Chain A
Amino acid sequence: MSQTPEQQAESAKEIRDAMRVVPQVAHGEPAVWLAGGALAMAVLIITGMVGLIVYQGGRAFWPDPIAKVRASDGSEHLGEIQQVGSVPADEANGGAKRVLLRSENFRWSGSHASWIVTDPNFEPTYPEWAVLVELMEEGRIIGQPTYFRVDGKVLESDPASVWAAYNEHRGQISERTREIERLTKGTLAKLTNRQADARLNARKAELEYGTDSAEHKQALADMDALLASLAKEQSDIDRKIADLEEINHRYEIGFLFQDGTEVFRPMADINRMVPANRLTLVGRLGVYLDRWREFLTEDPRHANSQGGIWPALFGTVVMTMIMSIMVVPFGVLAALYLKEYAKPGFFVSLVRIAVNNLAGVPSIVFGVFGLSFFCYIVGAQIDEWFFTASLPNPTFGKGGILWASLTLALLTLPVVIVATEEALSAVPQSMREGSYGCGATRWQTIQRVVLPRALPGIMTGMILAIARGAGEVAPLMLVGAVKMTQDLPIDLSQAPYLFPQRSFMHLGFHIYDLGFQSQDSEAARPMVFATTLLLIGIVVGLNLGAIWLRARLRRRFRAAR
Chain B
Amino acid sequence: MSDTMQPPIETNAPMIEPEEVAPSPGRTKAGNLFEAIAQGAQFQTSLHEEMEELPCVVNVEDFNLWYGKSQALFNVSLSLPIGKVTALIGPSGCGKSTLLRSVNRMNDLVDGVQTKGSMTLAGESIYAAGADVIELRKRIGMVFQKPNPFPMSIFENVVYSLRIAGIRKRSILQEACEQSLQRAGLWEEVKDRLRSSALQMSGGQQQRLCIARAIAAQPEVLLLDEPCSALDPIATGRIEDLIEELQGEYSILMVTHNMQQASRVSAYTAFMYLGRLVEYGPTESIFMNPHLSETEDYVTGRFG
Contacts and interface: CB of A to CB of B under 8 A. Distances in A.
Interface in B85-130: 104, 106, 109
A560 interface: yes
A37 interface: no
Interface string A425-444: 11011111111111111001
A448 B165 CA distance: 13
6 closest Cβ contacts across the A-B interface? A439-B138, A437-B142, A439-B137, A434-B148, A430-B148, A438-B161
Nearest to B160: A438
B164 A444 contact: yes
A556 interface: yes
B134 A434 contact: no
Contacts of A433: 106, 109, 144, 148
B106 A559 contact: no
Contacts of B142: 434, 437
A428 B201 CA distance: 18
A557 B152 CA distance: 8
A515 to B, nearest CB: 45
A452 B152 CA distance: 8
A434 B210 contact: yes
Contacts of A426: 7
A448 B164 contact: yes
A427 to B, nearest CB: 9
B153 to A, nearest CB: 9
A425 B134 CA distance: 24
Given A430-B148, A449-B150, A435 B160 contact: yes
A434 B150 contact: yes
Nearest to B9: A429
B202 interface: yes
B49 interface: no
B10 interface: yes
A452 B10 contact: no
Contacts of A434: 142, 144, 148-150, 210, 213
A98 interface: no
Interface in A472-503: none
Nearest to B198: A559
A456 to B, nearest CB: 10
12 contacts: A425-B7, A434-B150, A437-B104, A437-B144, A439-B135, A439-B161, A439-B217, A444-B164, A449-B150, A449-B151, A453-B151, A558-B197
A432 B10 CA distance: 12
Choose among A428, A448, A452 the residue with the greatest number of B CB atoms under 10 Å from its CB.
A448
A438 B10 CA distance: 19
Contacts of A560: 199-202
Interface in A522-561: 556-560
B134 A441 contact: yes
Contacts of B214: 437-438
B106 to A, nearest CB: 6
Contact of B10 (A425, A429, A439): A429
Contacts of A448: 150, 152, 160, 163-164
B165 A439 contact: yes
Contacts of B200: 558-560
A449 B160 CA distance: 10
Nearest to B161: A438
A216 to B, nearest CB: 59
Given A444-B164, A558-B199, A560-B200, A439 B134 contact: yes
B231 to A, nearest CB: 14
Contacts of B201: 560
Given A431-B148, A438-B141, 11 more contacts: A425-B7, A426-B7, A431-B150, A433-B106, A433-B144, A434-B150, A434-B213, A435-B160, A438-B217, A439-B217, A448-B150
A428 B12 CA distance: 13
A559 B202 CA distance: 9
